[in-house]
């Protein structure tokens, strides 16, 4: 049985490549959203994992940022596993993400795809969902 994963990122190139990478795992059904609002509208799909970009308002200025979407997701789906994704290197950004319910903070770099995949596989194994 496949498990739903949400990618919420307004960087079309990065998120498209991440979606393609994660979709190689046949256990995952990956959905891609360029705004958090779009993802929240699809919350009935009950993702096991949500990957959220920290800055989500670069293309749509009125869009909520990743922390706001994280809070809403956790309020509606308390068991969702959240991974915050960003190019921010500031410790405070990572700390705030964890405080708000993200389990992991992954830097957007050349190792991000593999790290995210490994985190998802670990989550599925812990839950006996693999």
Residues 6+ apart with CB under 8 A from 2: 26, 27, 28, 29
Give residue limits of the domains in the chain: 3-126
What CA–CA distance (Å, rounded) separates 30 from 21? 10
Residue-by-residue pLDDT tens, the chain, 130 positions: 889 999 999 999 999 999 999 999 999 999 999 999 999 999 999 999 999 998 887 666 777 889 999 999 999 999 999 999 988 777 788 888 888 899 999 999 999 999 999 999 999 998 876 6
- What pLDDT, on a 0 to 100 scale, did the predictor assign at position 77? 95
**Selection from 37, 28, 2 nearest residue 116 by Cα:** 28
Q: Does domain 3-126 have CATH number 1.10.1040.10?
A: no
In contact, 50 and 28? CB cutoff 8 Å: no
pLDDT, position 123: 93
């Amino acid at each position: 049985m496949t498990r739903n994963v949400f990618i919420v990122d307004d960087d079309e190139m990065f998120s498209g490549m991440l979606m393609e990478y994660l979709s190689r795992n046949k256990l995952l059904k990956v959905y891609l959203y360029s705004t958090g609002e779009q993802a929240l509208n699809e919350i009935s799909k009950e993702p096991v994992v949500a990957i959220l970009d920290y800055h989500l308002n670069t293309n749509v200025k009125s869009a909520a940022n990743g922390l706001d979407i994280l809070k809403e997701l956790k309020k509606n789906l308390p068991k969702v596993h959240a991974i915050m994704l960003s190019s921010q290197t500031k410790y405070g950004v990572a700390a705030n993400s964890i405080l708000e319910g993200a389990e992991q903070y992954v830097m957007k770099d050349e190792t991000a795809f593999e790290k995210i995949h490994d985190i998802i596989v670990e989550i599925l194994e812990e839950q006996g969902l693999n």
